[in-house]
Structure 1
Amino acid sequence: MDTKRLNLVDMAWLNVETERAPMHVGGLLTFRIPDDAPADLPRRIVEHYHQFTKAHSPWNHRLKAGRLQNVAPEWELLEEIDVEYHFRHSALPAPGGELELGMLASRLHSHPLDFHRPPWEAHLIEGLSDNRFAIYVKVHHSLVDGIAGMKLLARALAETKDDHDRPPFWAIEPRKRRRRAPSELSPGLYRAVAELMGDARDQVGSLPGFARIVRDMLKSARTQSGAAGLPFSSASSVLNNRIETQRRYATQMYSLSEFKELAKNAHVTINDIVLGVCGGALRRYLREIGELPDKPLTAGIPVSVRPADDDEAGNAITFIVASLATDIQDPGERLAAIAASTLRAKKSLSRLSAAAITQYTVALMAPYVLSLVTGMGGRTRPVFNVTVSNVPGPKGPLFIHGAEMEAFYPTSLVTHGQALNITVHGYADTLGFGFMGCRETLPSLQRLAVYAGESLDEIRALHGTKQDKKAAGKTTADANTGKTTARRRKSS
């Protein structure tokens, strides 16, 4: 049987796996069944998918057993998989709503994957209200990262509703790609591993810029006076404690076009609007449970950065740390503080060479990874308080056996020291927010999703259209008096 050695990054995801903190990511996709479709369409999809027992990379990778499993792990490449185990048919008592779907997704996401099999599974869930069904997928981070996994999943969806013969995602052969040298990789953690394993001579000239960032990072780690937006600059919060096994999951869906319009009117970026929504929601949620810190919470954010010394480089991926301005009550001032923080972080990185960006990424992530490997996660000062990711997705509608996908909600991981993850996934003209948290650490997490909508209303009142401002003003007034609004979308 063919085998494949895991790289250092994938090994790290295996080694930090614990019973209370499984390292899998995934997504929850909802579909609307067309009126002219057969009543048993979900069953027909399952039967069609169960015909495909041959799996391609990475879905056929199983961890090889042996004494060196934790030291030098390898994947075994299977010819076939137990497809009925990996793709399952589930149902909610009809008519299931968003709350019931979220509760089921919470339970499914709480359980670790079985490493005696390829570490992934999927569930088709029927019984949703309004003639809908859902597909929940989870995959271990050592097998594939969340962004790549969702791209592979999207390849199995059709661009037209008449395409009913497309095979499932595990049965699609991967595209062959030329193996790139370390210097061709985008700056970030994967490039860092490649350079550590290869030639790092070009990194010498980048040391001054890298040293400046590390100096600021260490200052923030040692003192309470570091500027918000630097790693280690935020005080510990309830989000940064040890976690338990069970998860709570909540979702919200918004219009991408509206976020673009709000960003344009406020002279900020779309991601600043996303962070503003999250910052406002976290401020209210933590204040209500009596856990709002005096210092602003910070977010670790994956961003695209173009190196200053590389005119031909495309988008480069690394992390920045930005303030969520949760210490500011006024929503307009909060959004301005967030935008200023993200702008400062991006400007700092834009001055660095590709090698310096790589070194910065390693310096940023090494304490986080080491804290998990050594069991110190949740016991030391956090690098940042919460991860907030904004992932672009397919631009047009997608279908499965004629049923159109209406929403794509990410389901990410939480760890010791990071009890909450907020990931946003784009699809067509929607932004699907997925709030994943530790059930015991963060009670009634669904309220956080509701408060995200109210935080967006505050931004609408400032930067929306006249109609938006009028509607948002009424909702904000209701929120300030403790009333709930009927137009708020249900959360899981």
Structure 2
Amino acid sequence: MARKLLKTNDSAWLFAETSRTPMQVGMLATFRVPHDRPTFVADLVARWRSVRRFQGPYNYLYRSLPVPSWVELPDADIDLDYHLRHSALPAPGSQRELGVLVSRLHSAKMDRRYPLWECHVIEGLEPDPGDDGGPRWALYMKAHHSQVDGVGGVRLLSRMLSVDPDARDMLPPWAVGAHGPDQSGLPPKARRTEVEVAPPGGLVSGLTDGARSAVSIAGSLGRTYAETLTGRTDPDRAAPFRAPKSIFNGRIHTPRRFATQHYSIERLRPLAKAADGSLNDVFLAVSGGALRQYLLELDALPTESLTANVPVSVRAHEGARVGNAVTFLYARLGTDTHSPRKRVEAIKASTRLGKDRLPSVGQGAMDAYTGVLMAPFIAQAVLGVGGRGRPASNLVISNVPGPAETRYLDGSPMEEIFPVSLLFNGQALNITAVSYAGEFNIGFTGCRDSVPSLQRIAVHAGDELARLEQEYGVAVRA
């Protein structure tokens, strides 16, 4: 059987995994049942069970020896009945019941004797109060973070769903994967090759570029960790392991909580323009304000600003790919100020400084930079000492671009999509957003024991967005 070696950064997610810290990422999508097909969900599951062709990463089995690698299994060796699971929500089938089920499913570590993915088809979701009362269903999928990051996961999803509402007999996700037929129905785009072409000038030029990359990486890492060790930095710049201790930064336990929130992008865009910032700046400001209010309620707000670890995609090609292509920057969230405007300005300054600190190198060199940057954090996770001492950051906040147009699965329109992320000892809360068809969908993943009443953070996010609109004089759009 063919073997595919894991990159060092991908292997780290496997080495850091424990039963309390499963290193998996998930996706929750809700769909509307077509009016003319009331048995749609049962029919879909029955048809999917008959499709036993697998594409990577759905046919990859992890082997740690002699070196960490993926073994590509034959189709006949994969137990589809283990991976595909059909569930129904108890009445009334509200978002609460769905959140409870997803929280439980996301808490369990996956069995490494099988390929590291699960697909859950969930029926019994009550109609959306805003539509005509049609029944709905949900799809929850999870995969190991060693195989996929946020952007990669959305690209896999985009290949699976079609822009054509009349498309039928569509293949399940495991038959599409990263290498199977693209079902999106979009015209093919020019794709960049994953093999970098040597620049003109041959070997000498290549060595020169390599030397420049090494200098850029060494300079960035040197300045970053000098600030960590000395504490001397620009007051707007965030550095790893300089974040204040908070309730989000202790030891965590297995059970998870999951909550959601969503806004129209057309509501966020005028606010970003008024603040002379980006949608991501608004997202960070909404998150920072929500966390401030939440911690004030618990009488647990640090006097220093919370620091977020913000993933940045560095994918250099258009298609889906197994593995991670991401680096990180650190940003202050302005939780030490009551003023929404000052919070936005602090975030804009901090993210700009964080981006300026990233080295100007290609994707391969960026993988090396990320590995060294995150080495102390990953070492804590592998050694089991995370959550003791000063945290590298207080939480992860991520923003992933999703499909801009409505997508369909066998004519069933996808209404919403929410990311479900991973946690570590020392990081008990993750906030990740995915944009989709004009909506900005936010998933809040937290440790059940460390983050009480997680839903309150989602509620405060809505309150903070309204405060920002009032501060900048932006009219709320329906």
Using structure 1 for the length normalisation, give the TM-score.
0.83
User: Secondary structure, in 3 states, of the residue corresponding to 1:95?
Assistant: coil
The residue that corresponds to 1:42 in the other structure is 41
Alpha-carbon shift at residue 13 of structure 1 (Å): 1.5
User: How does 1:5-404 map onto structure 2 within 5 Å?
Assistant: 5-34=5-34, 36-64=35-63, 69=65, 71-80=67-76, 81-130=78-127, 131-172=135-176, 174-175=178-179, 180-181=194-195, 202-206=209-213, 209-224=216-231, 226=233, 227=235, 228-303=237-312, 318-349=327-358, 352-354=360-362, 360-404=369-413
Alpha-carbon shift at residue 284 of structure 1 (Å): 0.9
Distance 1:119 1:281 in 2: 34
Judged with a 3 Å threshold, the aligned counterparts in structure 2 of structure 1 residues 225 and 323 are, in CA distance, closer, same or farther, namely: same
Distance 1:436 1:424 in 2: 11
Amino acid at match of 1:280: G
Cα deviation code 1:5-55 (max 9, x no counterpart)? 333223211111101000110100001223x33222111111111111121
User: Is this contact kept in 2: 1:393–1:427, CA < 8 A?
Assistant: yes
Distance 1:423 1:257 in 2: 19
Amino acid at match of 1:213: S
User: Is this contact kept in 1: 2:5–2:67, CA < 8 A?
Assistant: no
Distance 2:95 2:329 in 1: 33
The residue that corresponds to 1:4 in the other structure is 4
The residue that corresponds to 1:194 in the other structure is none
Q: How many residues align?
A: 442
Alpha-carbon shift at residue 70 of structure 1 (Å): 7.9
Distance 1:52 1:306 in 2: 31
Cα deviation code 1:182-209 (max 9, x no counterpart)? 678xxxxxxxxxxxxxx97744335555
Q: Please say which of residues 200-209 and 159-168 is displaced more in the overlay.
A: 200-209
Amino acid at match of 2:46: E
Amino acid at match of 2:92: P
Alpha-carbon shift at residue 304 of structure 1 (Å): 5.8
**Superposition RMSD on alpha carbons, in Å?**
2.7
Alpha-carbon shift at residue 103 of structure 1 (Å): 0.9
Q: Please say which of residues 107-116 and 74-83 is displaced more in the overlay.
A: 74-83
Distance 1:2 1:365 in 2: 30
Distance 2:163 2:353 in 1: 40
Distance 2:446 2:176 in 1: 32
Judged with a 3 Å threshold, the aligned counterparts in structure 2 of structure 1 residues 141 and 44 are, in CA distance, closer, same or farther, namely: same
Cα deviation code 1:114-139 (max 9, x no counterpart)? 11111110111111111111100011
Judged with a 3 Å threshold, the aligned counterparts in structure 2 of structure 1 residues 381 and 181 are, in CA distance, closer, same or farther, namely: farther
Distance 1:126 1:15 in 2: 35
User: Secondary structure, in 3 states, of the residue corresponding to 1:45?
Assistant: helix
Please list every run of 5 or more consecutive structure 2 residues that lacks an aligned counterpart in the other structure.
128-134, 181-190, 199-205, 317-324
Distance 2:366 2:5 in 1: 27
- 4+ residue stretches of structure 1 with deviation over 6 A? 176-179
- Residue from 404, 412, 421 that aligns with 1:412: 421
Q: Please say which of residues 99-108 and 357-366 is displaced more in the overlay.
A: 357-366
Alpha-carbon shift at residue 144 of structure 1 (Å): 2.6
Distance 2:144 2:337 in 1: 38
Using structure 2 for the length normalisation, give the TM-score.
0.85
Amino acid at match of 2:143: V
Cα deviation code 1:46-96 (max 9, x no counterpart)? 1111111121111011234xxx54854442423233222211111112331
Cα deviation code 1:355-410 (max 9, x no counterpart)? 88566433321111111112221123222211111000111101122221110100
Distance 2:365 2:264 in 1: 37
User: Is this contact kept in 1: 2:270–2:474, CA < 8 A?
Assistant: no
Distance 1:218 1:6 in 2: 27
Distance 2:369 2:197 in 1: 16
User: Is this contact kept in 2: 1:63–1:76, CA < 8 A?
Assistant: no
User: Secondary structure, in 3 states, of the residue corresponding to 1:94?
Assistant: coil
Distance 1:40 1:368 in 2: 48
Cα deviation code 1:274-309 (max 9, x no counterpart)? 0001000111111212221111011111236899xx
User: Is this contact kept in 2: 1:364–1:383, CA < 8 A?
Assistant: no
Amino acid at match of 1:7: K
User: Secondary structure, in 3 states, of the residue corresponding to 2:239?
Assistant: coil
User: Is this contact kept in 2: 1:251–1:449, CA < 8 A?
Assistant: yes
Percent identity over the alignment is 43
